[in-house]
Structure 1
Amino acid sequence: MQKRLLVPSRVRRVPRQFSWVDQRLVRDHHIERCDTAALALYLLLVTVADARGLSYYADASIGRLLSLRPEPLAAARETLTHTGLIAYEAPLYQVLALDAPPATTPLSRSPPVHSRSPGATRGLRSMQEILHQTLGGPS
């Protein structure tokens, strides 16, 4: 398929204070490990972060911007921390580089394990993943 601009008068231009969403978020399946609230929080953090991925927003501000109550916001933050997409030390957030594909199963298949360290589960795989890879069975 040949690509063409659908609305040539509205071509996206990179502004001075640009931000971006890394394509590896989808390509390396990071997106599959997050629910809607976590992805909304990630989009906000990517959008407001500086060049090093740092930002600080109060929970009340984030909750208001994303229409999230405190508990779902905390759960979204925990998901992003668990999956290695962000680091958080109140009130500072850091959007982390997507250097490696995820090492855990998608969120839809297993609930997040609570962890304070963003890299605590890096390198671990579920028994289901190991058996699926070894035996070639359905997941």
Structure 2
Amino acid sequence: MPRPEPPHPALTRSPTEPFGWLDARLLREDWLAQLGPDATALLTLLALAADRRGASFYGRERMGRALSLSRDRIDRALARLLELQLVAQRPWRPGHPDGVWQLLPLRAKSAPPRGGEPVRIADVVDRLRRER
């Protein structure tokens, strides 16, 4: 089945410099549902502000202004990103709340436990076709 045309094919966007990116697995593997809206917005902001190594130097106050979120909501969103190991932080100095934020590669999703039963290759192929 051919892919449908976008509404305005002449207006197709293309990456510019600098260009932030997010791993498509965030959507496909249900990471966004785990994050919630505030952490998703903050992850998007950090991706857009990041350098080529994934490092961003935005402080919490600037993050809050950019997203119209309170300091408490920013703190909770950052805690969620840290908990899920989507970002790492190195403070400017010990005990300082702000510093360098780095986007981390997504962890590989663990495979579901096997039941020990043999599986026919044809069954696996059929299942993969249905999942498309």
Distance in 2 of aligned mates of 1:80 and 1:99: 13
Shift of 1:51: 1.1
Q: Give the secondary structure class of the aligned counterpart of 1:97.
A: coil
Distance in 2 of aligned mates of 1:68 and 1:58: 13
Q: Is the 8 A contact 1:30 1:101 kept in 2?
A: no
Matched residue, 1:92: 100
Distance in 1 of aligned mates of 2:28 and 2:64: 29
Shift of 1:49: 0.5
Distance in 1 of aligned mates of 2:87 and 2:20: 16
Matched residue, 2:77: 76
Matched residue, 2:18: 17
Greater mean deviation of Cα atoms: 92-101 or 77-86:
92-101
Shift of 1:59: 1.3
Q: Give the secondary structure class of the aligned counterpart of 1:92.
A: strand
Unaligned 5+ residue runs, structure 2?
91-97, 116-132
Deviations 1:59-100 (A, max 9, x none): 111111101111111000000010111112331100011141
Q: Give the TM-score, by structure 1 length.
A: 0.69
Distance in 2 of aligned mates of 1:12 and 1:99: 29
- For the pair shown, the structure with the greater C-alpha radius of gyration is 2
Distance in 1 of aligned mates of 2:67 and 2:13: 24
RMSD: 2.3
Distance in 2 of aligned mates of 1:8 and 1:94: 35
By relative contact order (CA 8 Å, sep 6+), the higher-ranking structure is 1
Q: Is the 8 A contact 1:20 1:46 kept in 2?
A: yes
1:35-114 matched pairs, under 5 angstroms: 35-89=36-90, 90-101=98-109
